[in-house]
Amino acid sequence: MSDTVYLNGEYLPLADAKVSVLDRGFLFGDGVYEVIPVYAGRLFRFEDHVVRLNNSLSGIRLDLIKSAAEWQAIFQPMLDSSKDQYIYLQITRGYAPKRDHGFPEPIVPTVFAMCSDIKPFAGRVSGVKAVTLDDTRWQMCHIKATALLAHLLLRQEALDQDCAEAILVKNGYVTEGAASNLFVVIDDELITPSKSNEILPGITRDVILELAKTNQIPYREDVIALEALENASEIWVTSSTREIVPVIELDGKMVGIGKPGPVYQKMDQVFQAYKQSLA
């Protein structure tokens, strides 16, 4: 991680960046965040991340609008174009003089950003094991909220079962991963759940759908029943920091041929080429 972080208008060594224990982010998880990959110093799909951030902010009724150029100017001093990095940005409803569920008046948001190196995720190449778990999260999963307790418990349950990710099930349908979106390949068609309040609208997900279109890979956005996973020749989970990760074992059973499949191989190749073309 770069030692310099951004906090409320200042650049500071990480160890000196402090917020009040009365900050609503600390007390209530009252905030939103973004994770933005930066390849060779260029913010990946930056406009899309800013749109999602603004949707998250309006989703929690927090008024803080900055243009993409203003955010870029904040992040720029922390970037190192010799590496692949990611920006973590968190905005909370700020300090309030007392702990009260109702919003304080006035609201002075806390804005924090740090930049870390992207460590290649080994499972992206080898494939990972996953487990299905009940989606115990709230009904506003389209908001990238910092209150992640349900996600953390689900991911940890997966880790405890020697799996890399939990695939979440709601009313008999799969929604997404604990920290990723979900794709399956059934009868050579790529399928991912449609956008709704039940999933985070992943930026990686959008890129994959665009690349499927331009590369003539048949795809569809649709509901995916839990039982349909048994017929999937491939299952992937996708996110900004891990990219496209093939699931080769689900609930102890082999997925497809038990190795990253051909549609994954193709998509990973075009995804890497797309990243290069933007970097």
What are the residue numbers of the active site? 144
Under rule CB under 6 A, residue 184 binds ligand PDD: no
Closer of 96 and 114 to ligand PDD (Cβ): 114
Under rule CB under 6 A, residue 176 binds ligand PDD: yes
Closer of 90 and 96 to ligand PDD (Cβ): 90
Q: Are strands 31-39 and 234-239 parallel, antiparallel or unpaired?
A: unpaired
Under rule CB under 6 A, residue 166 binds ligand PDD: no
Tokens of 134: 């009940």
Closer of 92 and 238 to ligand PDD (Cβ): 238
Under rule CB under 6 A, residue 203 binds ligand PDD: yes
Under rule CB under 6 A, residue 239 binds ligand PDD: yes
Under rule CB under 6 A, residue 31 binds ligand PDD: no
Under rule CB under 6 A, residue 180 binds ligand PDD: yes
Tokens of 233: 């020749």
Rounded to whole angstroms, how far apart are CA atoms 8 and 108?
A: 10
Beta strands in the chain (DSSP E): 4-7, 10-13, 31-39, 42-43, 84-92, 110-117, 128-134, 165-170, 173-177, 181-186, 189-192, 219-221, 234-239, 243-250, 253-254
Under rule CB under 6 A, residue 268 binds ligand PDD: no
Closer of 110 and 238 to ligand PDD (Cβ): 238
Closer of 96 and 193 to ligand PDD (Cβ): 193
According to DSSP, residue 251 is labeled T
Rounded to whole angstroms, how far apart are CA atoms 238 and 212?
A: 14
Under rule CB under 6 A, residue 181 binds ligand PDD: yes
Instruction: Give min distance, CB of 71 to ligand PDD, in A.
Output: 16
Give the contact letters, 125-154, x = binds to ligand PDD (CB under 6 A), - = no.
--------------------------x---
Under rule CB under 6 A, residue 36 binds ligand PDD: no
User: Among 32, 115, 131, 200, which residue interacts with ligand PDD (rule: CB under 6 A)?
Assistant: 200
Contact 72, 49 (CB under 8 A): no
Under rule CB under 6 A, residue 204 binds ligand PDD: yes
Within 57-96, which residues bind ligand PDD (CB under 6 A)? none
Tokens of 67: 């243009």
Helix or strand or coil: residue 122? coil
Q: Estimate the share of the chain in helix, then strand, then coil, as percent rounded to the nearest 5.
A: 30, 30, 40
According to DSSP, residue 72 is labeled H
* Tokens 């509901």, located at residue: 223
Binding site for ligand PDD (CB under 6 A): 35, 151, 176, 179-181, 200, 202-205, 238-241
